């Protein structure tokens, strides 16, 4: 699930201002050369509109750390299909529902590949996972195993007991904080509950507790942060030394070694269990690592997954599933706290449907239409993965423009969710808009694609949504919520943290009061 963040591209420049001057001079000399245009170099291709670029940097100097926002402003001038240059590499930016449909539906197979950065290779064992694996037989088989064995509706249902237990523990934690009159750090709690649920489904046990657990969560954050960073050397190869000077490669290598240490421990633990050694975990239920280990031992499946492959897939699922769901919960609660009427409407719905019951079941969730509308509206305004990354596998025309083989294509789901051509009053948080609309996020309605679409679309929608909805329904049913003293609906800090998934920059803090009357 590779997203794109400008941060590390600019890191080198930020920490080494002399480099900027050097590049400035180089750019000027290139400009001087280009003033004499060689007519034989003029292409007959019809290229998408493009803002003017600098020779060495291309358009990199026009991008902020929140790239999705920079793309939106540039797109307002240059249209929904725009050509930028990162260094000298062409990159197509897609920012309307129609253009996205051409990429992920009409020409899905052409855009089914992902860019293969050094960072992705380091973390994912030379691309042996699912989300960055090259399009082909290996990716297809692994994705179908993952969908069947972990993410199908039936499998997701079978993890219901895990979600219920972990949600109750979350309620206990909030209760305790509220009794001690402490502020509730919702951002932190949401990361830990989503991680605990996914770890139990994948590994059969949690790893998020204690000091080791904190380290594990921090490592996952690092994977997400570094994966969202595409270094300058990827785009301007002769500047790749900058990544060594700034220490970027060293930091990635160190994190990859630590992640490998953790995953190796998990694999060994499962081998011991298979040899009969008892280790505390959800007994009697086969978990996803067990299934992968069986594939590893059994060649009959036709998929050759080696030990590194197993570790890469586990990392994919844990890193891809934790942060995205936690960010969805964080943005949803922040919007509800800014919109007390929407919060009250949601509380009324949940409390009405579950009146007199302490436990909210997944059958109850199906009846909660406003809850679903609130989550959709949040994903429209705050898609956790704002940019979908693909690579063209052949030369192709899109919306009448030529795109060459190997070109990277970034679809800006964040800008599409706020496009006035698709949405009335796009900047307003109005869950009601979904009560009378059939638009859904399953990858068929291209104005709302927080989970992507097509072959490379997210296989974790059901897993993610049932978890997010269950936590949210419990949180609003069992507590009254207020912003801390001094914070108002108007001044709550909604600044985004740049990265592979977009979180709030500052943790969401709130005051909870238990509510026993429903």
Binding residues for ligand HEM (CB under 6 A): 1, 130-131, 143, 146, 151, 198, 316-317, 320-321, 324-325, 328, 384-385, 388, 450-453, 456-460, 463-464
Q: Which residue is nearest to ligand HEM (CB)?
A: 452
In Å, how far are 25, 65, 390, 417, 457 from 81, measured between CA atoms? Answer: 31, 21, 14, 16, 21
Residue closer to ligand HEM, measured from CB, 205 or 251: 205
Q: Would you state the structure tokens that stand for residue 115, as one six-digit string?
A: 């860019």
Question: Would you report the helix, strand and coil content of the chain in percent, each value rounded to 5?
Answer: 55, 10, 35
- Tell which residue, 223, 162, 222, 217, has the closest CA to residue 195: 217
Contact between 427 and 377 under an 8 Å Cβ cutoff? The reply is no
**Cβ of residue 366: shortest distance to ligand HEM, in angstroms?**
18
Residue closer to ligand HEM, measured from CB, 177 or 462: 462
**Cβ of residue 238: shortest distance to ligand HEM, in angstroms?**
30
* DSSP-based three-state secondary structure for 335: helix
Q: How many CB atoms lie within 10 A of CB 162?
A: 20
How buried is 508 (Cβ within 10 angstroms: 0-12 exposed, 13-18 middle, 19+ buried)?
Answer: buried
Residue closer to ligand HEM, measured from CB, 208 or 459: 459
Residue closer to ligand HEM, measured from CB, 63 or 146: 146
**Cβ of residue 329: shortest distance to ligand HEM, in angstroms?**
9
515 assigned to a ligand binding site: no
Residue closer to ligand HEM, measured from CB, 234 or 316: 316
Residue closer to ligand HEM, measured from CB, 71 or 451: 451
- Tell which residue, 436, 183, 460, 462, has the closest CA to residue 317: 460
Contact between 239 and 232 under an 8 Å Cβ cutoff? The reply is yes
Rounded CA separation 465/144 (Å): 20
Contact between 94 and 81 under an 8 Å Cβ cutoff? The reply is yes
**Cβ of residue 36: shortest distance to ligand HEM, in angstroms?**
42
**Cβ of residue 386: shortest distance to ligand HEM, in angstroms?**
9
**Cβ of residue 503: shortest distance to ligand HEM, in angstroms?**
12
How buried is 269 (Cβ within 10 angstroms: 0-12 exposed, 13-18 middle, 19+ buried)?
Answer: middle
Residue closer to ligand HEM, measured from CB, 58 or 450: 450
**Cβ of residue 316: shortest distance to ligand HEM, in angstroms?**
5
In the annotated binding site for heme, the residues are: 458
């Amino acid at each position: 699930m590779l997203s794109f963040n400008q941060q590390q591209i600019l890191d080198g420049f930020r920490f080494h201002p002399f480099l900027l001057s050097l590049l400035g001079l180089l750019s000027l000399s290139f400009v001087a050369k280009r003033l004499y245009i060689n007519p034989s170099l003029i292409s007959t291709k019809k290229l998408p509109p493009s803002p003017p670029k600098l020779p060495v940097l291309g358009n990199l100097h026009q991008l902020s750390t929140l790239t999705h926002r920079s793309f939106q402003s540039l797109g307002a001038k240059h249209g929904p299909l725009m050509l930028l240059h990162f260094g000298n590499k062409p990159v197509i930016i897609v920012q309307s529902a129609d253009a996205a449909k051409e990429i992920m539906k009409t020409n899905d197979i052409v855009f089914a590949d992902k860019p293969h950065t050094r960072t992705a290779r380091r973390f994912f064992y030379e691309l042996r996972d699912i989300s960055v694996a090259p399009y082909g037989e290996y990716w297809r088989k692994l994705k179908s195993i993952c969908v069947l064995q972990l993410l199908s509706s039936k499998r997701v249902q079978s993890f219901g007991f895990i979600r219920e237990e972990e949600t109750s523990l979350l309620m206990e934690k909030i209760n305790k904080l509220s009794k001690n009159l402490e502020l509730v750090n919702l951002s932190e709690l949401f990361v830990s509950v989503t991680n605990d649920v996914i770890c139990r489904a994948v590994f059969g046990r949690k790893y998020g507790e204690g000091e080791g657990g904190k380290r594990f969560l921090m490592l996952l954050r690092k994977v997400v942060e570094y994966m969202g960073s595409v270094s300058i050397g990827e785009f301007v190869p002769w500047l790749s030394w900058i990544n060594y000077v700034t220490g970027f490669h060293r930091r990635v290598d160190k994190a990859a070694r630590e992640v490998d240490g953790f995953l190796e421990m998990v694999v060994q633990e499962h081998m011991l269990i298979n040899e009969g050694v008892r280790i505390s975990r959800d007994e009697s239920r086969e978990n996803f690592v067990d299934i992968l280990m069986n594939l590893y031992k059994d060649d009959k499946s036709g998929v050759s997954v080696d030990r590194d492959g197993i570790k890469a897939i586990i990392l994919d699922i844990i890193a891809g599933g934790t942060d995205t769901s936690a960010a969805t919960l964080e943005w949803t609660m922040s919007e509800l706290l800014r919109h007390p009427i929407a919060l009250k409407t949601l509380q009324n719905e949940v409390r009405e449907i579950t009146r007199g019951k302490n436990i909210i079941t997944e059958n109850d969730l199906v009846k909660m239409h406003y809850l679903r509308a609130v989550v959709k509206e949040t994903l429209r305004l705050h898609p956790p993965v704002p940019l979908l990354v693909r690579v063209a596998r052949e030369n192709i025309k899109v919306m009448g423009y030529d795109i060459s083989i190997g070109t990277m294509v970034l679809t800006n789901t964040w800008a599409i969710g706020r496009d006035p051509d698709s949405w009335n009053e796009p900047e307003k948080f109005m869950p009601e808009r979904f009560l009378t609309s059939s638009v859904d996020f399953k990858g068929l309605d291209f104005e709302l694609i927080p989970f992507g679409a097509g072959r490379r679309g997210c296989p974790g929608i059901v897993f993610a949504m049932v978890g997010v909805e269950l936590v949210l329904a419990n949180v609003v049913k069992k507590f009254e919520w207020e912003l801390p003293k001094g914070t108002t609906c108007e001044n709550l800090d909604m600044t985004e943290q740049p990265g592979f998934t977009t979180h709030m920059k500052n943790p969401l803090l709130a005051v909870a009061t238990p509510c026993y009357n429903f």
